[in-house]
Structure 1
Amino acid sequence: MNRPARLCLALLSAAAIASGTTGPAAAAPAELPSLGPDFQWGVAMSGFQSEGHAPDSNWSRYANSGQAHDTYRDSVDFYDRYAEDIDLAAGLGVKVYRLSIEWARVQPQPGVWDDRDFAFYDAVIAKIRAAGLRPMLTLDHWVIPGWEADRGGWKNQDMVTDWLANMRRVVDRYAADDPMWVTINEPMGYVAQSIQIGDIGIGDAVPMFDRLVQAHDTIYDYIHERQPGARVTSNIAQYPVIQNLTDLLFADRVRDKLDYLGLDFYYGTSLQNPPTTDLLGSELWKNAIEPEGIYYDLRNYSEKYGLPIYVVENGLPTGDAAPRPDGYDRADHLRDTVYWLQRAKADGIDVIGYNYWSLTDNYEWGSYSNRFGLYTVDVRNDPSLTRVPTDGVDAYREITANNGVPHDYRPTRQPAVCSIVVWTQSCVRPVTVP
């Protein structure tokens, strides 16, 4: 370890001691237990990113404005191919299919809803149930109708009223299907992306968080009125360095109205892989991947909130279909990540489910270059939009069949020194691999 790294480690360790977060390292169990038959394996997607045939919305406007890297086209056309994709998911052995109900599609005009606007989602959810899967429905995955954007979107003081009017109709329509619910996808990402595409200014960020909190709390109560025993969350993305700030702005404020905690985890950063501007850029495959960071994230939130935890999103980006510069492939990443889920479970952390993001490649908020799919789709060059399996398909199928990796599996990579996922704890309570 070089001198700056040693100095940083010393400072972090001192801070941890001062804050009372010291403790033993997380040693590996003698035999790695499986995640068990009740563990919820799933896949995830969002409407706008995958459906195609996009109605007028803030994001369809941005995607076709000339500012995005790629125009939208019809994405991977889940709208016409949903039955095929749901069958692909069922073939993986998963139990949960996450999707979003796009507000712009079901309420095309102010005050206007029609059964025909919901017909697509009626068919999709019926297919999910027929395939033996449980729907996980996201109410808001960053997309608002164009007419709502014209009213000011989240800058508008009446936004929450408009939002709730639609979301209550969604809940009324699908509560009987016994879905799991995600109210608002990645609130910090939602605010950041709203700034990036010009929906709000920096000065509107805190009021937007306030309105997101109000929206979540109100719809949480409504869901429970309509669906006794419902499981409701918002998924919290992992942001190195600023995680505590993101929690203060949203998660800490809604913690009493979460039935489980949804976590999204993708990238690592540590003394070995310091933060770079790639974390904020559009070439996501350049980010460091440290799968043990998911263990630190799970441990942190388990100790902080004491809730069951579902990993709502996790995946590995590549640049188009090219191999990653670091040599990591999707199969090894999946197995390594699941190893750390099993380690967390063995250490008493109540992790109840895992969704891979995503079943297919999709429109990653302005670009088709970032590929996350278990099935890759070349939107730019393949008019047939053929779903081509990656090495992750067989790996995930084997994982779901066995509820984890074998008891003697070891990750392909040793844990990094001092993960910044959870600032001090990873330095003074590190995980190790025998």
Structure 2
Amino acid sequence: MATADGFRLDGLLLGVATAATQIEGGDVESSWTDWADRPGSIADGSMPRRATDHWRRWREDTRLMASLGVQVYRMSVEWARLEPLPGVWDDAAFARYREELDLLRDKGIRPLVTLHHFSHPLWFERDGGWLAPGALWVWERFVAEVVTRLGDLVAEWVTINEPNVYVTGAHVFGDFPPGHRSLREGMRVYGVLAAAHIRAYALIHALRPGSDTMVGVAHHLRPFRPGNPRNPWHRALTPVMRHLFQDAIVRAMTTGEFAPPLRRPDGITPGRYGDFFGLNYYSRTTVTRFDDGTPPGVPVNDLGWEVYAAGLGETARWAWETYRLPVWVTENGTCDAADAFRSRYLWEHLSVLSDVRAQGVPVDRYYHWCFVDNWEWNEGEGPRFGLVALDYDTQERTVRDSGRLFAEVAREGGATADMHARYVAGQTYPVSSAGAHHR
């Protein structure tokens, strides 16, 4: 339970997270640049071509991370940038990533590299995406090239980010490219993504044998609860939603065991396919129908997501007790344009981690989402998740008070009552006025 007295995080590595499409900028022919060109696809009409201009400003950003005491950094590589045409590799782009990785290591920041973070080449999408007959072969070719060229600088890999968020966005609700709306198709893509991870897991270990190689998935987990526990429809739908959204795909990717409605792809056998459990945690879902729900009268962020810090402990404990893998919190953060409650959010969630670690749950990493305000997919430039504020017009970076709190916690290995008084005291959350649905 969070208190103003402080907490210890001894041995927990603290860092930040980003994704290439959301920060790099540039005219890259990806599934998302094409999607953003379609009127009405992005809430504010913005494009990922601007983003944070990180592709050119990576030195500035790396130095800023180091100044904040960042110990670990989760980043992704842009598949469309590295393989602009099928089987054609951009040597200059690989060299640029190597420069960035070198500087991170020089600054004492350990990189964790994600291979697929919602985005892939437009040619891959137009060929049928993950449902194309040769999709897994194309994916393995990409993984092999990246690991061969960058593996001497990277020991830790996330194969796929939030397969459940990607599938529901791209194939069930139609918010992400290619914009399809089919639950049946979504379940098929789940199976392909599970196979993609399992094959990549084996491939990375084959290419980089050694005890320091770590491979996993960044899973988006939420607690689910019925909107009205006395309503039989709410009670019945809650476990179904949880199974379809997270439990089935997590089990398939981690163990190679497929529960209906997922089907095991050919060539996949049960086993252990993870060296850590990547946990992305933001909120919980209150179930009244088949979508994301927030009840009235609860604390929320700028996007209307419920703030529920205890859920980070609940999901971390479930991951550990179910799969017995060390837990890395690969994303956690909140949307707060005014930085009016982010320090409180950070304090409460890190306090929860302190508690569950004391109870024996091996949470080894915490990556805050995100480092700097960035392009938030179909929401565009509006949402502000960064410890560092960004002026999109000038590209000026400004460390927020929440970023200063993060830096002090990172340097001290914990939080003190004095930090609470300076950064957290007096911060309050907005409260939802009516039940909300996010789709």
Shorter-chain TM-score range? 0.7 to 0.9
| Structure 2 equivalent of residue 343 of structure 1 | 355
Deviation string, structure 1 residues 364-390 (Cα, Å, up to 9, x no partner): 0031111100111132xx3x2100111
Please point out which of 279, 297, 301 is paired with 1:263.
279
Please point out which of 215, 221, 224 is paired with 2:205.
224
Say whether the 8 Å CA contact 2:31–2:177 is kept in structure 1. no
Q: 1:270–1:153: structure 2 CA closer, same or farther, 3 Å change rule?
A: closer
| Structure 2 equivalent of residue 298 of structure 1 | 316
Letter in 2 for 1:390: R
Tell me how far 1:269 sits from its aligned partner: 5.0
User: Is 1:405 matched up with 2:381?
Assistant: no
Letter in 1 for 2:345: H
Tell me how far 1:284 sits from its aligned partner: 5.3
For residue 391 of structure 2, give the secondary structure of its aligned residue in structure 1: coil
Which structure 2 residue ranges, 5 or more long, are not aligned? 225-240, 255-271, 429-439
Please point out which of 20, 38, 41 is paired with 1:65.
38
| Structure 2 equivalent of residue 166 of structure 1 | 142
For residue 177 of structure 1, give the secondary structure of its aligned residue in structure 2: coil
Distance 2:342 2:7 in 1: 23
For residue 99 of structure 2, give the secondary structure of its aligned residue in structure 1: helix
Distance 2:189 2:143 in 1: 18
Say whether the 8 Å CA contact 1:101–1:139 is kept in structure 2. yes
Q: How many residues align?
A: 371
| Structure 2 equivalent of residue 373 of structure 1 | 386
Say whether the 8 Å CA contact 2:73–2:112 is kept in structure 1. yes
Deviation string, structure 1 residues 155-204 (Cα, Å, up to 9, x no partner): 21211111111111111112211331111000001112213235244132
CA RMSD across the alignment:
2.6
User: Is 1:275 matched up with 2:293?
Assistant: yes
Tell me how far 1:33 sits from its aligned partner: 6.0
TM-score (norm 2): 0.79
Q: 1:240–1:344: structure 2 CA closer, same or farther, 3 Å change rule?
A: closer
| Matching of residues 203-218 of structure 1 within 5 Å | 203-218=184-199
TM-score (norm 1): 0.80
User: Is 1:84 matched up with 2:90?
Assistant: no
Distance 1:243 1:264 in 2: 15
Q: 1:269–1:145: structure 2 CA closer, same or farther, 3 Å change rule?
A: closer
Distance 1:77 1:28 in 2: 37
Letter in 1 for 2:319: Y
| Structure 2 equivalent of residue 134 of structure 1 | 110
Tell me how far 1:398 sits from its aligned partner: 1.1
Please point out which of 303, 317, 323 is paired with 2:335.
317
Say whether the 8 Å CA contact 1:52–1:76 is kept in structure 2. yes
| Structure 2 equivalent of residue 11 of structure 1 | none
| Structure 1 equivalent of residue 29 of structure 2 | 56
| Structure 1 equivalent of residue 9 of structure 2 | 35
Say whether the 8 Å CA contact 2:218–2:278 is kept in structure 1. yes
Distance 1:32 1:305 in 2: 30
Distance 1:407 1:219 in 2: 45
Identity %: 31
Please point out which of 304, 315, 318 is paired with 1:286.
304
Say whether the 8 Å CA contact 2:223–2:314 is kept in structure 1. no
| Structure 1 equivalent of residue 243 of structure 2 | 244
Letter in 2 for 1:301: A
Runs of 4+ in 1 over 4 A off after TM superposition: 407-414
For residue 178 of structure 1, give the secondary structure of its aligned residue in structure 2: coil
Say whether the 8 Å CA contact 2:342–2:402 is kept in structure 1. yes
Tell me how far 1:259 sits from its aligned partner: 0.5
Q: 1:284–1:322: structure 2 CA closer, same or farther, 3 Å change rule?
A: closer
Say whether the 8 Å CA contact 2:223–2:311 is kept in structure 1. no
Say whether the 8 Å CA contact 2:117–2:161 is kept in structure 1. yes
Tell me how far 1:240 sits from its aligned partner: 4.3
Distance 1:89 1:185 in 2: 22
| Structure 2 equivalent of residue 389 of structure 1 | 399
Distance 2:419 2:100 in 1: 37
| Structure 1 equivalent of residue 89 of structure 2 | 113
| Structure 1 equivalent of residue 436 of structure 2 | none
Say whether the 8 Å CA contact 1:108–1:145 is kept in structure 2. yes
| Structure 1 equivalent of residue 123 of structure 2 | 147
Distance 1:61 1:340 in 2: 40
